[in-house]
Amino acid sequence: MKRFCLAIAAVMLLGGCSSAATGESSTSTGNASADSSTVSAEKTVSVENDRESVYQVSLLQGLTLGDYYGSVTVGKLKEKGDTGIGTFEGVNGELIMLDGVVYRAKEDGSVEVAPDEETIPFADVTFFDNDTTEEISNIANIDELKSYLDKKVDGYGKNRFYMIKISGKFKSVYARSELKQEEPYKTLAEALSTDQREFTFSDTEGTVVGLYCPEYMNDLNAVGWHFHYVSDDKQNGGHVLGLEFENAKISWDNTDGFNMQLPETQMFPTLDLTIDQSEDIHKVEQADGK
């Protein structure tokens, strides 16, 4: 089933290219039948495909250019997944979705449940199906965690998406959130340079939700790992900049589909998405970026 989903996802992502390639060796009738079989296959596997896809709202590169206008509601996002990460209109806090509930980590690191009507400018979610569970020990910092996870990804395959959940007791989680932005919106790097707030949770039990994006996602998201945290008591959370723990459990959801919703915001149609933002994206994701 997973292999089939991958094929469908590729069709979704590369629909234009695949019919052009088909056209080289077939008549226009051939193209038409290829298109109709694509449509019917997509319908046939829609339920499974939804579970095996990462659903992304907009491009991270739109958010980082300052398109903080929400385009998808929290209620709609819940139809697309039960686990994930993102932010809210105006970058009003860090979004963590866990077990089907959407939480907001506010600028002071406290957490609340987000209302269904609130809109989202950027998020990645999936329905979490536990493919593998591992125990992991003695992680002293986030770089050690990333290198452990990267080695695992080398084995599992670095060209897929992975959503993971790391659950346990953390010696510390160093996280951030930010103040809600007002129009006119600045770029995310500019906004965070003054309005990012950082906090450390010590001896905290909870879950880190992590997304791995493959290298070829470089123009659509941040490649590699992106982590958000929420405590078990749902009191603390944020975008993870650092952490330390002795023992934790990692659950992996191997995800072979990618489904992106372009936003219908006032800014998006005219954004210059050809600008190389790799430096800004590194800045807004990392602890040393301030």
Binding site for Zn ion (CB under 5 A): 239
Q: Which is nearer to Zn ion, 104 or 239 (CB)?
A: 239
Q: What is the chain's length?
A: 290
Q: Which is nearer to Zn ion, 222 or 250 (CB)?
A: 222
Give the DSSP H/E element, type plus range, for residue 49.
Answer: helix 46-51
Q: Which is nearer to Zn ion, 256 or 280 (CB)?
A: 280
Q: Which is nearer to Zn ion, 11 or 243 (CB)?
A: 243
Least distance CB 198 / Zn ion (angstroms): 13
State how far the alpha carbon of 10 is from the alpha carbons of 48, 203, 282, 286, in Å: 15, 43, 28, 31
CB atoms under 10 Å from CB of 26, counted, come to 14
Least distance CB 255 / Zn ion (angstroms): 18
Least distance CB 215 / Zn ion (angstroms): 19
Least distance CB 228 / Zn ion (angstroms): 6
> What whole-number distance in Å separates Cα of residue 133 and Cα of residue 287?
28
Helices (H), 157-254: 188-195
> What whole-number distance in Å separates Cα of residue 147 and Cα of residue 167?
18
> What whole-number distance in Å separates Cα of residue 224 and Cα of residue 214?
6
CA-nearest of 79, 42, 32 to 57 is 79
Least distance CB 86 / Zn ion (angstroms): 8
Q: Which residue minimizes CB distance to Zn ion? A: 239
Least distance CB 254 / Zn ion (angstroms): 22
Q: Which is nearer to Zn ion, 84 or 257 (CB)?
A: 84
Q: Which is nearer to Zn ion, 106 or 239 (CB)?
A: 239
* Residue 13 DSSP SS3: helix
> What whole-number distance in Å separates Cα of residue 39 and Cα of residue 250?
36
